[in-house]
Amino acid sequence: MSTPSLALNNLRTFTIVIVLAVHAFLAYLGSSPASSFRFDDPPYRWRTIPIIDSDRWFGFDIFCAHQDTYLIALLFFLSGLFVWPSLTRKGARNFLRDRVVRLGLPFALAVGVLMPVAHYPVYRVTAVDPGVAAYWQHWLALPFWPSGPPWFLWVLLLFDLGVAALYAFARRSGAALGHVIGKLSARPMAFVTILVISSALAYVPLALLFTPWTWFHAGPFSFQLCRPLLYAVYFLTGVGVGAHGIERGLLAPGGWLARRWKNAGGAAIATFVLWLGSTGLAMSGDGLPILPAEVLEASSFVLCCAAGCLFMLATFIRFANRPIKMLDALSDEAYGMYLVHYLFSIWLQFILLGFAVVAVVKAAIVFAGTLALSWGSVAAMRRGLNAIGVLGPVRRSAPSPSLPSPAAALPSPASGRRLARGQAEARKGGPNQQIRFTTERLR
């Protein structure tokens, strides 16, 4: 039985590259205001768009808006896939200890050390006194500690803690969830319908209550107020799919999702257009009364999120369940790149402010520079940190099935070709050999 492990590894790496691209393009959005936000002015909108350049292109607005609808939900889904097998293998205590090392420690280092350095240009562009001492005073005067993209890690750690508690006190719940997912996998429309309904119940009420744009901040901990339950739905869906078995059902290489990648792509385009239209309607105040317009906007976001996630999964399972040289090269460093990229992205945007270059060229320079600098710096740091498993996968005699972070535990490119050869040999050996190969991969 072939597995989608290579496809999921490639998708995880590609998704983190897209995160880098989004943050590289934010300075060049056509819809941004004319000037940068002042560092000290509430509601501190520079948290969303740190640097604003005078060179713009509306194409970046479309790209970034589309990624915002599904990308983080997809990361939570991928992060949940191997949680239950990992709990079964390690037990709750060892599982949580591993997550604290792989998620908690990097979060503390990235937020405590990198974020103050990364945000200095944000202060500098509007500062009266650009000195470092003055900046540090303004930084400490903020009512929160800006966390940047690493906010994802503490939320993921919280979700892991919840599932570990579930494992400790209701061990059969994972098997029950996997059984339900397995039943639904045989009924595609029922699976999609339940996913959408669950997402709508988790997202729409909070979006109406808090608006889709408001963030919660308490010290270094932050999240978008309308989305934590939505992310929990996708994380738990990933947990259920993993408990059922990634090699069968939803993610099976020959399953219904992979076969219907065109349908998923059409749905992703249609729902994104619907969301764009409903968002414009809600923000303009014309046409529908405000509450129905907001309900339509929130509901279309839920549809767009589901369609985007399913399309990405379908496409990679259908076409990328094999070693891909470029993604293999980035794979081991992808998690670390996620942690450090914001520093390079903001500083490169700041450096290019004074250059009269079209927005597309500036964005390409920032993206390429962020990718190269993040990749190179993480590769250098990883030589020392890999021994304790903080950055990248730890090299062991047998690969671990856990996915403790957006990047750390899907199969590494070093094992990619061995996995592909093993799958081919298993298929030649018949059903018994296939089952034996899959079992060995999950140990």
How do the domains of the chain map onto residue ranges?
Answer: 5-441
Structure tokens given for 383: 């030589």
Residue 419 has pLDDT above 70, yes or no: no
Q: Which residues does 234 contact at the CB level (< 8 Å), separation at least 6?
A: 73, 74, 76, 77, 80, 199, 309
- What are the pLDDT digits (tens) for 153-202? 999 999 999 999 999 988 888 778 888 887 887 788 899 999 999 999 99
ω before 43 within 30° of 0 (cis)? yes
Distance CA 239, CA 242 (A): 5
Average pLDDT over residues 308-327: 96
Residue 98 has pLDDT above 70, yes or no: yes
Range in 112-126, 189-203, 214-228, 288-302 with the lowest mean pLDDT? 288-302
pLDDT the model gives residue 44 = 94
In the predicted model, what is the mean pLDDT of residues 298-323? 97
Which pLDDT does position 138 carry in this prediction? 97
Average pLDDT over residues 261-289: 87
pLDDT in tens, 56-85: 999 999 999 999 999 999 999 999 999 999
Q: What is the pLDDT of residues 2-35, one digit of tens each?
A: 678 899 999 999 999 999 999 999 999 999 998 8
**Residue 239 pLDDT > 70:** yes
Residue 176's pLDDT is 85
Calculated CA dihedral for residues 300, 158, 313, 311, nearest 10 degrees? 10
Report whether pLDDT(320) > 60.
Answer: yes
Higher pLDDT, 133 or 391: 133
Considering the chain, what percentage of its residues have pLDDT values greater than 70?
85
